[in-house]
Amino acid sequence: MKNLILFITITCISQIANAQMSDKLPTTSLKDLKLRGHVKEVVDSGYVGELLQVKIDTMHVYYTTTMKFDEKGNETGETTQYGDKTLNSKSSYNYIDKKTLIVNRTSTDSKFFDISIFKYNENGKKIECDYSANFIQNDVPDTTFGKYIYKYDTINKRTEVAIQRKDTVENEKIIFLFNDKHENIETDIYNSRGILYYKTVSYYDRYGNKTKSENYLFGQPTGGNTSTYNKVDHNGNWKLKISQDYLGPNSTGGVVQKEFIKRTIIYY
């Protein structure tokens, strides 16, 4: 369930808790991940580099995620090991029946635990996900929870996913909009007063890989991200992804860096 791995930092455990309920959708299958072929296992290793860097510094991996799938393409387990190996997470997948999936994720330091309960319709499509997380920040326990609602058109194509997030800090709504290729082309985040304050517009290549995203805060550009994909295998799956953040004219600053993701795929 690759829903927090690529964009978190390990400086604050609450960032892990919030990642799944922010601007990333949870994934539970090869189809969600846009992986082709009879995939058994995927190992992603992330590296951070300087903007002008063109080669991977293999001595400075900051996470390694291993995802396993059954022969039907459903995810069955996931583990993540972070750079200094002081914090790891593990997810277990329990397929109760054709309409229910329960995913439990825990950290090895016992400071984080979450559960996601997915519900499916008679066509095997997600229609709902209840999510809750318990974590400890600065020795203080905290909780966040929310609900995903999946909507489809008359020909069973996903058109929208809405998240209603409710916790002690905020009550916000996030809308994911899709095109007819099931690509998330726009993400809108509304605050507790129902005001659209943050938007991300995304673009894809002909293979369905995201190549660019543009971020807007109250309608003003704040930057985004570009990605390129190299070393494609015989099934058309990429083996190296290079992402780079960029700042917009209204950005207040921050670190702009390049990220390398090296992917190893094992097939049945």
In this structure, what are the phi and psi dihedrals at residue 236, rounded to the nearest 5 degrees?
Answer: 85, 10
Q: Say which range, 41-45, 87-91, 116-120, has the weakest mean pLDDT.
A: 87-91
The average confidence (pLDDT) of the chain is 82
For residue 10, the model assigns a pLDDT of 27
pLDDT tens by residue, 11-32: 233 333 343 444 568 899 999 9
Q: 139: Cβ–Cβ under 8 A, 6 or more apart, which residues?
A: none
pLDDT at position 152 over 80:
yes
Angstrom distances, CA of residue 18 to CA of 15, 46, 145: 5, 20, 9
Q: CA angle at residue 245 from 208 to 164, to 5 degrees? A: 65
SS (H, E, C) 185-222: EEEEEECCCCCEEEEEEEEECCCCCEEEEEEEECCEEE
SS (H, E, C) the chain: CCCCHHHCCCCCHHHHHHHCCCCCCCCCECCCCCCCCCEEEEEEEEEEECCCCCCCCCCCEEEEEEEEECCCCEEEEEEEEECCCCCEEEEEEEEEECCEEEEEEEECCCCEEEEEEEEECCCCCEEEEEEEEEEEECCEEEEEEEEEEEEECCCCCEEEEEEEEEECCCEEEEEEEECCCCCEEEEEEECCCCCEEEEEEEEECCCCCEEEEEEEECCEEEEEEEEEEECCCCCCCCCEEEEEEEECCCCCCCCCCEEEEEEEEEEC
Residue of 125 and 15 predicted with greater confidence: 125
The CA distance from 238 to 87, in Å, is 28
For residue 37, the model assigns a pLDDT of 96
Residue type, 66: T
For residue 147, the model assigns a pLDDT of 86
Angstrom distances, CA of residue 67 to CA of 24, 33, 78, 118, 151: 17, 11, 5, 18, 27
pLDDT at position 93 over 80:
yes
Cα first-last separation, the chain: 20
pLDDT tens by residue, 207-262: 899 999 999 999 999 999 999 998 899 999 999 999 988 887 766 555 567 889 99
Q: Which two tokens stand for residue 127?
A: 């229609």
Q: Any bridge partners for residue 246, and if so which?
A: 224
Confidence of residue 94 (pLDDT cuts 50, 70, 90): very high
Domains of the chain: 5-267 (2.40.160)
- Taking alpha carbons only, the member of 23, 16, 2, 8 closest to residue 134 is 16
For residue 202, the model assigns a pLDDT of 97
For residue 82, the model assigns a pLDDT of 84
pLDDT tens by residue, 167-188: 544 567 889 999 988 899 999 9
